[in-house]
Amino acid sequence: MLSPDDIKALAELYNSGVKISEISRRLKINPKQVYVYIKVHGIKPRKRSSKAKIGERELKIIREMRMKGHKIREIAEKIGVSPRTISTYLKAMGLTSKRINKCGEIDKEMFIRLIKEGFRDIDIAEKMHTSISCIAKYKKILGISKRVIRREEKKNLMKKTVEEIKRMIEEKGFVTSRELRTRKILLTKPLLNMLTEEIKWFKLKYTSTNKFTIFLPRLGGVIFLYKDVEKLTSYLLENMIDKNAPTKVVRYLGKINKIPSEVVETLINRLGQIRMTPPRLLKDEVSNLWV
């Protein structure tokens, strides 16, 4: 049982806003007993103050956000109160629970730019002065998502890469996957599909047969893209080890590598010319090829 001094202390603590749990700890009594003493001794109950008071500024924000189409939940998060509180104030202001306006027009370029830059929906909504639900709606209408944006960026990058490869081929007549790799260009199937509309290609998978080593082993697995057959065959001749290999072997190697017939036949014709050249001239020509 509390003494008169303890009861007086209880009243002072209670009226000063000290929590019930703290009062019970100080007076060494049960929290329920605190309420009993308050009631028995006629201590006036203190008014419960809301954690977040809504003033004129908050009311203005509520009205503006609602008129722009924001959901009650979004307004509640902004103000820092419960959705139920916002709903009560909206009714008091004569605003129905339904959104007042639909999503208005937006700056499409700015919208796409913000998505590309990696902004979240909530950030985009804030920058464009609209709601998150409207942002989702815009994305759906425009068919825009991060995945679509990335796909579009990848497509544009591939187009630039194709143009760069074409430029290299125009200058040299052909290009190899090894050269492209030095420029950090990897030949993928989609990229090759985009190139094959104008440019021919093949992969030199095999460089030799059981009995004959035709090309240098380092050419194994190299992809050749070309427009000028003569320049390509000159390069292949420079990298041939056995220029005296039978024609049928060269044709067979071309077949298993799926080398276009125009390249194979041009290569065979060039080999025939070399073989018909007198030994001295042949030696000079071969030495010139390797310079």
- Has residue 261 got a pLDDT over 90? yes
At 106-145, the pLDDT tens digits run 788 888 888 777 788 888 888 888 888 888 877 776 777 6
Are the C-beta atoms of residues 202 and 259 closer than 8 Å to each other? yes
Mean pLDDT within 30-50: 75
Q: Can you say how many angstroms the Cα of residue 97 is from the centroid of all Cα atoms in its chain?
A: 38
Out of 3-17, 47-61, 223-237, the most confident range is 223-237
pTM over 0.85: no
Least Cα distance to 99 among 136, 65, 123, 54 occurs for 65
Relative to beta strand 200-204, strand 174-176 is: unpaired
Mean pLDDT within 217-242: 92
Separation CA 114–CA 106 (nearest Å):
12
Name which residue leads in pLDDT, 153 or 51.
153
Tell me if residue 226 falls in helix, strand or coil: strand
At 169-191, the pLDDT tens digits run 999 999 999 999 998 888 888 88
Q: What is the pLDDT of residue 253?
A: 92
CATH code reported for the domain at 53-101: 1.10.10
Q: Where are the domains of the chain?
A: 4-40, 53-101, 102-144, 156-289
Per-residue pLDDT band for 291 (boundaries 50, 70, 90) equals very low
